[in-house]
Chains A and B, each alone.
Chain A
Amino acid sequence: MEKDKEKTYKKDSLKGTLFSVLAVGGFILLSWFTVWSLFLSRI
């Protein structure tokens, strides 16, 4: 029973999730640094 569970778990592919999370994270980083550089350019 336990083994079966582990097997299904291992088969799960998280590639799509990884890509989505990194895409959202990348967008947040990019916008954060854009706003920060705008702030620095106006000091």
Chain B
Amino acid sequence: MGLSNPLTTSPRAYRAKKPLGQRLRRNLTGYAFISPFIIGFLCFTLVPMAISLYLSFTKYNLFAPPRWIGFDNYIKMFTGDPKYMHSLKVTLLYVFVGVPLRLGFALFVAMILNTKSRMVGAYRTVYYLPSIIGGSVAVSIMWRNIFSDTGIINGMLGFFGLGPVSWFGNPDAALFMLITLSVWQFGSSMLIFLAGLKNISGEMYEAASVDGAGFFRKFFKITLPLLSSVILFNMVMQTISAFMTFVPAYIISKGEGGPMDGTMLYSLYLFRQAFMFNNMGYASAMAWVMLLLVGVMTGILFKTSKSWVFYESGGGK
């Protein structure tokens, strides 16, 4: 990479150069450094997205050339494919129940852990561990088995006198099982909240206490507003990743999305359409609807919060 040869660019020679050449060199150096990203973005993101958009208007099975069918795929999704609508419903339920539960739990535990106790480090480790291993096949296998008919969850329910639940026989129960797996991994959000809480100075709470503010007042008037950008960031990232959840649904239902499509999350249905039924065009259309949905949700989240700090102008440190 001899783009800026240090031997010939002594300070004086540098200054003596034409400003245009200097600027050109500076630009070339900059682009040389970010070129891996630019090439990668073009080859693995932009071009594939263009192909995907084109395919979404075609019928394509990988073997015969794509056949243009206009908006048929999109129309079929919303009018001729009840399984798709069901999958969308299940996914929205998973996202809108799972993400708030997970974030609420994460914030609650972060607030409890935001003390100077010596044990905090150990607890933080324990709570965070599930997030680290949560995406693995091993954990999905584990989850599948603790919810089995004679597994520990039913054992615990039995201890409280509640009847055994057939987690794999009831679609709602199966979805609930997936949601609990997601809530169990609240640790990464908790860490981000903890970092945010650490930035709020204790003096503010003391001043509020002196003025007679109680716990809830302090929570709603100090903690929540000062954490709002962190909460928003968490919400956006968690919503997107929840929308794309694949491994747990795939492993727990053994790739079928059952029982009765109860765990047929969007990504799983897309995967099955694309790679089991070879409906590449239809799957591409599904992907674009997903992008649109995620985009709209993210847009709403950003719009509704005015305290969002944009990274490039904000993070000058």
- Same assembly: no
